[in-house]
Structure 1
Amino acid sequence: MPTLLHLDASARTHSISRAVSAAFAESWRVDHPGAGYVYRDLAADPVPFIDAGWTEICDAALAAGTTDPDHFAALVRTPAQAASWRIVEPLLTELLAADIVLIGTPMYNYSVPAALKAWLDQVTFPRISLAPRRFVVATARGGAYSPGTPKAAYDYQERYLRDFFAGHFTVTDTVFINTELANSRQDPALAALRGRHDASYALALDTARELGKRY
């Protein structure tokens, strides 16, 4: 049976990215009864930043020429490395067991939250390939960053994640479900764009539910 790894990174407990990722997960689980499902809230239960012990394990993997995570534990030599490996191992195990990785993330300052970046850093070792796993990313953005908009060039959220998954994980089957203009809910300067936001959010929810059935 397939397994879905579901991550949320928003600091808001009730957020758009959480709602859209939940829509995908609920639809997927209905369509895959009995399948594996693992959930991590990266904001409520943050992953520590990588440390010197992690870098030493990484260096040892490079020196040994190994790209197989099953061999990484054998590279641990010192107490500092062992402490780092205790953090990495469950995260890496969850990731490698997943067939689909679902990420709900807001855009913070044109990019991704530090909580998500910390998780990515912990599970990324040189030359690890996660193909043919599939990634689905549900995003919320305060403004409009789709192609053709004035701020499209400032989108370091989708572009970063898409490049990261392709460059580090050799995964090119990544789908983004973006909800735009979320700040129109709070910012009077964007109030006239609330209708466009509502339409974007509704489309994102519908898309997430439909993809959950197909994946």
Structure 2
Amino acid sequence: MTTLLHLDASARRRSVSREVGEAFAAAWREAHPGGHYVHRDLAADPVPFIGEAWTELCDHVLEHGITEIDRYKEAVRTPAQAEAWAVLEPLLDELVAADVVLVATPMYNFTVPASLKAWIDQVTFPRMSLTGRRFVIASARGGAYGPGMPREPFDHQERFLRDFFAGHFAVEDVASVAAELVNARLDPALAHLREAHEESYAAALRLAAELGASY
């Protein structure tokens, strides 16, 4: 049975990144009627920031050369570490069980929301590999950050996630779909770009659905 882990990070209950992510998830569920679907809303149910006890778990894993995810619990030696592990274990279980991980996120201040970064920090240990899993980034951005755009160098959202998934988790299969110029919906100074936004938004929904149906 194939499993999709769907993460939402937008602080808005109704947001473009959530809509693009749901387009993928809905198509995936239709294509996999017997599949297992797990949704975690990182804004509604925030993951705690890591603390010193978490770093001690990480240090133990590194010091003892542990690379098997199912052996990480061996690092728990104190009550504080047990408390940190109680937060971490269900997050790791969801991630490890997933065949496809969908990350639906807005761009905040050129990068990802703190809610998503907190999840990333929690589930990350030294030499941790998720090779074989497929990752999808469904994003929304207030401006235009695509290839060739003046603000392309300021994209620390999609590029950060791609680099992280590949560089730390050794994930080779990362797809992305982005809706751009979302601020044109509200900002009078960007009114002339509203049609371009609508085109980007519609294209993102189509591509997300196509990807969901094929994964």
Q: Deviations over 1:71-90 (max 9, x none)?
A: 11122000110000000000
Per the alignment, residue 62 of structure 2 pairs with: 62
1:147 Cα offset (Å): 1.1
Per the alignment, residue 103 of structure 1 pairs with: 103
Per the alignment, residue 118 of structure 2 pairs with: 118
Contact 1:162–1:172 (CA<8 Å) still a contact in 2?
no
Unaligned runs of 5+ in 1: none
Unaligned runs of 5+ in 2: none
Q: Deviations over 1:15-68 (max 9, x none)?
A: 000001001001000110121110000000000000111100000001110111
Q: Deviations over 1:117-152 (max 9, x none)?
A: 000000010111001100001000000001111111
Per the alignment, residue 9 of structure 1 pairs with: 9
1:153 Cα offset (Å): 0.6
Per the alignment, residue 80 of structure 1 pairs with: 80
Secondary structure of the structure 1 residue equivalent to 2:74 = helix
Per the alignment, residue 94 of structure 1 pairs with: 94
Does the alignment pair 1:29 with 2:34? no
Question: 1:209 & 1:154 partners in 2: Cα distance?
Answer: 27
1:207 Cα offset (Å): 0.4
Secondary structure of the structure 1 residue equivalent to 2:164 = helix
Secondary structure of the structure 1 residue equivalent to 2:111 = coil
Secondary structure of the structure 2 residue equivalent to 1:4 = strand
Q: TM-score normalized by structure 2?
A: 0.99
Per the alignment, residue 165 of structure 2 pairs with: 165
Identity among equivalent pairs (%): 63
Q: Deviations over 1:98-133 (max 9, x none)?
A: 000001100000000000000000001011100110
1:172 Cα offset (Å): 2.0
Question: 2:143 & 2:93 partners in 1: Cα distance?
Answer: 36
Root mean square deviation of aligned Cα: 0.5
Q: How many residue pairs align between the two structures?
A: 215
Does the alignment pair 1:183 with 2:149? no
Contact 1:21–1:138 (CA<8 Å) still a contact in 2?
yes
Q: Deviations over 1:154-207 (max 9, x none)?
A: 000011011000111001211110100000001111110000000000000000
Secondary structure of the structure 2 residue equivalent to 1:169 = coil
Question: 1:9 & 1:189 partners in 2: Cα distance?
Answer: 27
Question: 2:210 & 2:69 partners in 1: Cα distance?
Answer: 33
- After superposing the two structures, state which structure 1 stretch, 167-176 or 86-95, moved more: 167-176
Aligned letter for 2:162? R
